[in-house]
Amino acid sequence: MAKVGEGDQRWIVKDRDDGANCNNWHWTEKDILPWAKQQLAELLNGQDIERSSKMIVKTKKVENIEGDALVMNRKKKLICSFDLKMDIPWEGEVLDEDTGDVIYTVKGKMFVPDVDDTTLGDSMQVDVMCSEQGDAATLVIEKVRTLGRKFVRKSLEEFAQLLKDAHSITNKAQSVVCDAKPASPASKKEEKKEEKCVDELNQRFEWRCPPSELWDALVNPAKASAYTRSNVTLNLTKGGDFSYMGGAISGHFESVDAPKGFVMKWRLDNWTSGHYSDVTITLDSHEHNVTELKLAHTNIPYGEKDRVKMGWTNNFWNPIKQIFGFLYETK
């Protein structure tokens, strides 16, 4: 290497008094979040999810885009990085097939809690939220869960490609790196190690209702269909299958001890094929009309714990509270 003050400046890595960054050798970065928000708005705002004689479902104006979007340069290597979350409101109109008139309107949102280069694709988490009930609302919600999620995942893949194209980031470019979370060889080894790990979720609640009523809400297919706003099948026997939300959650019962609890082999449809987590739910009562519910959810794939926790809250605990009026406290 040349001595300081001599030779080609590209090889001089000592801090310079004039602050010059010769040939982009030192680390530089550019915040492109405003650009990212504009591109996401163009891709997501006002787009049709479903348009037929029965219903029209469209996205509204995307909201609350938060996170980071950067283009960085280090030793002439370009690195694009984005780590975002956002709300995508939607509206569905159920139509009279004869007249085309709107007979029912449903509103909700899709929530993307974490999107970066590593989470793109069919496994990317897109949560569908809607507080409305009824047959018409269920029809619209099911469309959003299938076609809406597919639309969002495809749009975010297009966004990632736009980012690369707009900033000349291609596989053929000079020393190019494109990774949402740039990592050293050591940290990549750690990531591979983490992928083999599993996580667990433990919760305890006090429900203001008799154990028999809470048990019935958990295992009665008609009631479960009501609060999950989806088709539910529950074969409450050892080895019996269960399915929620059109198969988004499925598995089988390992054991059933009515009305005290059950053990399930439980999975989400986009987990690695053959991987099941373990769910144990127990009910107990030490006070009149008060039920203690314990949830032990183990063997959750690494990185999925927050998603699973949100799913229990948004698809089970809160809807049970809203529909049946059972208040609960977290212990």
Q: Is residue 107 within 8 Å of 120, Cβ to Cβ?
A: no
Rounded-to-integer distance, Cα 120 and Cα 36, Å: 16
Rounded-to-integer distance, Cα 298 and Cα 208, Å: 26
**Residue 171: its pLDDT value, please?**
38
pTM for this predicted structure: 0.50
- Residue 24, burial from CB neighbour count under 10 angstroms (0-12, 13-18, 19+): middle
Chain-centroid distance of CA 60 in Å reads 19
- Residue 185, burial from CB neighbour count under 10 angstroms (0-12, 13-18, 19+): exposed
Residue 114 has pLDDT above 90, yes or no: no
Percentage above 70 pLDDT, the chain: 80
Q: Is residue 149 within 8 Å of 240, Cβ to Cβ?
A: no
Residue 17 has pLDDT above 70, yes or no: no
Residue 157 has pLDDT above 70, yes or no: yes
